[in-house]
Amino acid sequence: MLYSVELRLKVAQEGEASTVTGYHVYAFFLHLIELANPVLSARLHEEGGPKPFTLSPLSPSDAGERRVVLREGARLHIRVTLLQEDVFASLADSVWRLPAGQNLPLGGVWVACQGLGTTPLQSPRAAFTTFQELVAGASEERKLALAFLSPTTFRTKGERNTLFPEPSRVLGSLLSRWNAYAPADPSLGSGRALALPVGESAVAGVRLAAYRLSTRMLDFGSYQEQGFCGQATYSLGEGMSPDQVRVVQALGAFALYAGVGAKTTMGMGQAKRLEGPGLMSPGTGTVPAPVELPRRVLTGSE
């Protein structure tokens, strides 16, 4: 199963510092996993390559900015996505077994877990599916629109970060995570749920048709990471076979769970597929000036 869940928190006590970075959110998540499964927590921290979870920035605080102030009583949430069943089970077990009144450190503040929203009825951020369902539900529509909800960037060894949703980088990121975690399924060819004959060649026929982007920063304490947010629409060329188109559409749906690009376990690269009449048309691409984030003070009334 693939999961998108909402971890609900409440600031129980202010600490000496109020800045909460992606590193703090990452450490908080691993601590929750450790409470239920210490071996799994250590493995998640130590293993290289794509990890089987993503974490959103702390919301609604835009917690990547330096100037946020978290006040006692403020209600927050973290969207967590999970690509492996044991990681979901350990998170759920940890949250549901926490003693009432137990507070946990999150950066410079102490928070109480208020629950875990795991279904759409419990939270608009919750969803679940399987790799097989993503493949079965993939359409032959020759347009794919993605929203990049938190700063997104791509890293290549020896190069600077790429701040643009190039098709090869977006789909390559999704494909590598799919192939890392999709379950073996001999009925689908070479053992992976997306192991259609096209492989990575499906990316070659995809071009960027329209975009509306802005740049934003996330603060990581000793440095900041810059990334792009906004929307991008991709055209799937007529030279692509129906199977290739379905591969790309399945990857687009997978973006909700896998994230895109670098540091998806620390708030970056949150993404989802867009549908409906509000999609951009070719020729609407713009790149606004970088966004300056205002000061936010969160209180218990929010």
Q: Which of 126, 143, 169 lies at the terminal end of a domain, its last residue? A: 126
One-letter-per-residue 3-state SS of 35-51: HHCHHHHHHHHHCCCCC
**Residues 264 and 152 occupy one common structural domain:** yes
**Residues 105 and 150 occupy one common structural domain:** no
Whether residue 292 has pLDDT greater than 60: no
pLDDT in tens, 220-266: 878 888 999 999 999 999 889 888 899 899 999 999 999 999 999 99
**Residues 176 and 265 occupy one common structural domain:** yes
Is position 157 within any domain? yes
**Residues 24 and 92 occupy one common structural domain:** yes
Is position 57 within any domain? yes
Containing structural domain, residue 107: 2-126
Contacts 24+ apart (CB under 8 A), 230-233: 230/147, 230/148, 231/145, 231/146, 231/147, 231/148, 231/274, 231/280, 232/145, 232/146, 232/148, 232/165, 232/170, 232/208, 233/143, 233/144, 233/145, 233/146, 233/208, 233/209, 233/279, 233/280, 233/281, 233/282
- Terminal-residue alpha carbon distance, the chain: 33
**Residues 55 and 143 occupy one common structural domain:** no
Q: Which amino acid is at 119?
A: T
Is position 288 within any domain? no
Location of structure tokens 């990471």: 225
pLDDT in tens, 54-102: 999 988 754 444 445 678 888 999 999 999 999 999 999 999 999 988 9
Report the alpha-carbon distance of residue 215 to residue 235 in Å, rounded.
Answer: 23
**Residues 117 and 141 occupy one common structural domain:** no
CB neighbourhood size of 112 (10 A) = 16
pLDDT interval class at 202 (50, 70, 90) = low
Is position 257 within any domain? yes
The fraction of the chain above a pLDDT of 70, given in percent, is 79
Mean pLDDT, rounded, for 27-33: 97
Is position 287 within any domain? no
Q: In this structure, what CATH number is given to the domain that contains residue 157?
A: 3.30.70.1900
Location of structure tokens 């102490």: 110
Diameter over CA atoms, the chain: 60
Is position 82 within any domain? yes
Number of domains in the chain: 2
**Residues 68 and 139 occupy one common structural domain:** no
